[in-house]
A and B are shown apart, each in its own frame.
Chain A
């Protein structure tokens, strides 16, 4: 937090007339949340602009791509056909106009048709985006559900076996690439159980409606990608939590609290753990971002029918700009959203940040 010293001097100057009353505080807090939401919205617009520009930079456009596809099916295509298709798709309009239209539709959840498959993108994506986001959030949750208690224990324990053991596991987690882990597990499971553990659903449930048996089937598949993505995230998070905790435990205010008679679990949880929380919350957005980046490759290996693998498909194989744009929009949207949430949470948890808002 580079802005902290500046903030502190600010407080020095301002002390004496800090806010009064919970109501006023609430109003200011809501204003802060609203400002953050607007900022998040602008971030998303900016990212969409970059994504849209990149889509433009890809040689060829949707019209050519579709007609080329038809051509390969045996149809005769002329330049005039391509031009007509351009006009039909609105591709003859200026770049900026098209972007505004695209972003306007995107916020309404409309992404148009896929270039190649000529299907409505919403129909094509279906629940895949939510499956992807769910898998990533699940991995993040798994990582911190393990890392917070383990990190705290590791930071407080003096047991060399425990500490070294954790260190080795952490290094394994950090050093072993996800795709390799995925391949190893698949190989192992194929050899031992004759089941490669791929996919998110058994064939009979793939297109079924959500009901209890389908949820059970889903859970019996989804644990593997969550575990694989969570594996390195956990190793990373343990290191983070442990370092932050050791840092806080060594601080004077902890000794001072002990000198006042605060002891045991209360001392640990209310003092160092409570104060390590802010930087941990801060790192959540970053971790989710990393998990998102790793998802497509893992998804490809495990042949998951979720948006990550579809993104690779759209980007690398079929050059389907419309589809790729929509997926990237969703993924960045969820990262912006989690950063918004962590900002708000930080303001609730950390009085230093709260006071910088409330003044």
Chain B
């Protein structure tokens, strides 16, 4: 495997009427080609904003931190995403080497433009195909994601397709330019459970076939357990734990991850009460000092949690957590 993308010290703030809001703070991770990474957290944790940063797609009032670096490793050499300025320069991360699938397939297709037209448009922007070639490839892609009668569907509009069909079409469109990285922002949340499974299977097949990396954003650890190779857990704009899926789910090291796992319903013991994490996610306007999670954490170990930002420390070979619990273990060991 070769390195696909490096995100280093990504910090992102928004200038709003209420002041400057920190949405993402000091986030670093990397992804290999062919690897699936789950990005997990509650709504408002900054997952989607992080993902959109990779395409510089955040709103005009976004301010990236000066140390933020995103490097995309392509065959023609590395691309420094932060330095991309013009629309032409940004094509490579917008639908070229990176594609994005949104949570709501209905809303992400333009309602008055046919699915085919939108697919062809994207291919015309990113490839030197003729219109006829683009059309042919689009129909082939629709067929490939399991849409029957693809040439008819090509001329149809999003409102004429069922929910699962739309998300398949969205995947077909996203993959048509053969991106190296696919970002899927809660791609199955709006779908029925049975369709969810189909779409997840489809995505897994396509990753191995196309050999690309996927960043899978979700709040559903169950979906992550099935899909991802590794997982990064996010809380209030910060990463709190990273590691292989197996490690993180079997031996969660951060109290927040433990809380998320405890809040999942299990089928083994349907009478067991769910234990939600107490409290609400704080307003981004009042970010807690120190460890951002300390206001809700049940394992606070003293003033350090409120004063000092915990650094990532290894808990296993491929498993790290940003928590003072593990600092001390590291110190005492």
Contact = CB atoms under 8 A, between A and B. Distances in A.
B112 A255 contact: no
A345 B157 CA distance: 19
B104 A259 contact: no
Among A256, A278, A355, find the residue whose CB has the most chain B CB atoms closer than 10 A. A256
A17 B191 CA distance: 24
A350 interface: yes
Interface string A345-359: 000011110010000
B94 A352 contact: no
Contacts of B156: 15, 18
A139 B323 CA distance: 68
A216 interface: no
Interface of B: 55, 57, 60, 87, 90-91, 94-96, 99-100, 102, 104, 107-114, 118, 121-122, 125-126, 149, 152, 156-157, 159-162, 173
Given A11-B160, A355-B157, A253 B94 contact: no
B160 A355 contact: yes
13 contacts: A259-B94, A260-B118, A260-B121, A260-B125, A261-B126, A263-B90, A263-B94, A264-B87, A274-B112, A278-B112, A351-B157, A352-B112, A355-B159
A252 interface: yes
Contacts of B159: 8, 11, 352, 355
A261 B108 contact: no
Contacts of B152: 18
Contacts of B100: 256, 259
B122 A15 contact: no
A262 B108 CA distance: 13
Nearest to B152: A18
Contacts of A11: 159-160
A261 B107 contact: no
B94 A256 contact: no
A260 B94 contact: yes
Contacts of B99: 259-260
B113 A274 contact: yes
Please classify how large the interface on chain A is, using the bins under 10, 10 to 19, 20 to 34, 35 or more. Answer: 20 to 34
A13 B246 CA distance: 43
A260 B173 contact: yes
Contacts of B87: 263-264
Interface of A: 8, 11-12, 15-16, 18, 158, 251-253, 255-264, 270-271, 274-275, 278, 349-352, 355
Contacts, number: 91
B70 to A, nearest CB: 16
Contact of B109 (A16, A255, A256, A270): A256
A257 B113 CA distance: 11
Given A12-B162, A260-B95, A255 B57 contact: yes
Given A255-B57, A275-B112, A261 B122 contact: yes
Contacts of A262: 121-122, 125
A8 B166 CA distance: 14
Contacts of A271: 110, 113
B214 to A, nearest CB: 15
Contacts of B162: 12, 15
A112 to B, nearest CB: 48
A275 B157 CA distance: 14
B182 to A, nearest CB: 12
A79 B100 CA distance: 87
Contacts of B125: 260-262
A273 to B, nearest CB: 11
Contacts of A352: 111-112, 157, 159
A308 B91 CA distance: 57
A15 B112 contact: no
A292 B87 CA distance: 46
A261 B91 contact: yes
